[in-house]
Amino acid sequence: MALKQRYQNPVVGDTVKLRLFFYNSNNFADVNAISKIDIYKVADGASINDASARIFVQTIPGTSVIKESTGRYYVDVLLQDPTYTIGRYVDVWSVEFENDIDTASTITNVFQIYPDLWYTTPIPVVYDFNFQFRPARLRQGSKRYLIIEVVPNVPKGTDLQRYYENLAIVGDLKLSIEQRSGACLPKEVDLRLIVDKVAVDYREKQFGYYLLDTSDLEVGIYDVWFELDLGENIYISERNQLQIFA
């Protein structure tokens, strides 16, 4: 099956990547230790905050947690039947922030396992997506996440819209950035492809996040476009404009 983020509608059989970020004074910071992660299923209809409604599923030792980089940790969990079934879950991380037992804390996050998305039709499914992103202007030297939103181009408030939104969540989302020719570039200089079909860093529902460092980018106008891969279909957005200014 597939490898998905916690908000990418994982189904039974998928592997879900459970991430957790840590900040200290607004900067990514490492913790002293992550001792374990306890995963519980939440009883149907109960609040995720009701500890008495949690059914223990498994404990993941801290040795299985991967430190991706400073302050960024994750663990991959195989959602294998019968251990995992459709429903809501909480993952409770036991964390020691500093080298002091008194600073030990528990951090609770949520994820959900969804049913498979079956759909039947006598003809190939025809659908489309619109792409939006922000911010469209960045000061040179800044380092910001571009936020890409994938919006299904179907009638609003319908089962079809909800179905396509769920498709957009699981599809591979990539972006490209190219410097435009113009007053800031000599005419003989070819367009500069800054980012070429690179997968976004993180996915959350219909949103994708890509960290763009403009320190080495020249002042000017850039074309930005996105690509969504769904099965046999590849959707490429129009070229949008991103301005880097001094």
Are residues 148 and 224 both part of a single domain?
Answer: yes
Query: Would strands 15-21 and 3-5 be described as parallel, antiparallel, or unpaired?
Result: parallel
Residue 72: is its pLDDT beyond 70? yes
d(CA 230, CA 234): 6
The number of domains in the chain is 2
- pLDDT computed for residue 95 by the predictor: 96
Return the H-helix or E-strand segment holding 51: none
Identify whether 122 is preceded by a cis peptide bond (ω within 30 of 0). Answer: no
- The model's pTM is 0.79
* Percentage with pLDDT > 70 across the chain: 93
Residues 107 and 158 in one domain: no
Residue 107's pLDDT band (cuts 50, 70, 90):
very high
* Higher pLDDT, residue 119 or 4: 4
| pLDDT for the residue 128 | 84
Other residues' Cβ atoms within 10 Å of the Cβ of residue 97: 16
Average pLDDT over residues 67-77: 97
Q: For residue 41, what pLDDT is reported?
A: 98
| Percent of the chain's residues with pLDDT above 90 | 71
Which of 66, 89, 113 delimits the end of a domain? 113
**Position 121 in a domain:** no
Map residue 166 onto helix, strand or coil.
helix
Q: Return the SS3 of 118.
A: coil
User: The domain that contains 56 carries what CATH number?
Assistant: 2.60.40
- Which residues span the domain enclosing 48? 3-113
pLDDT tens-digit readout, 13-64: 999 999 999 999 989 999 999 999 999 999 999 999 999 999 999 999 999 9
Indicate if 88 and 167 belong to the same structural domain. Answer: no
pLDDT tens for 135-149 read 999 999 999 999 999
CA distances from 76 to 35, 52, 158, 242 (A): 16, 26, 34, 35
CA distances from 63 to 74, 124, 125, 136 (A): 11, 46, 45, 41
* CATH code where residue 182 lies: 2.60.40.1930
pLDDT of 174-203, one tens digit each? 999 999 865 555 554 556 889 999 999 998
pLDDT, the chain, mean: 89
In sequence order, which ranges of the chain are alpha helices (DSSP H)? 159-170
245 pLDDT exceeds 60?
Answer: yes
Q: How far apart are the first and last CA of the chain?
A: 46
Q: Is residue 118 part of a domain?
A: no
Sheet containing strand 15-21, edge to edge, reads 3-5, 15-21, 72-78, 66-69
Query: If you average pLDDT over residues 128-139, what whole number do you get?
Result: 94
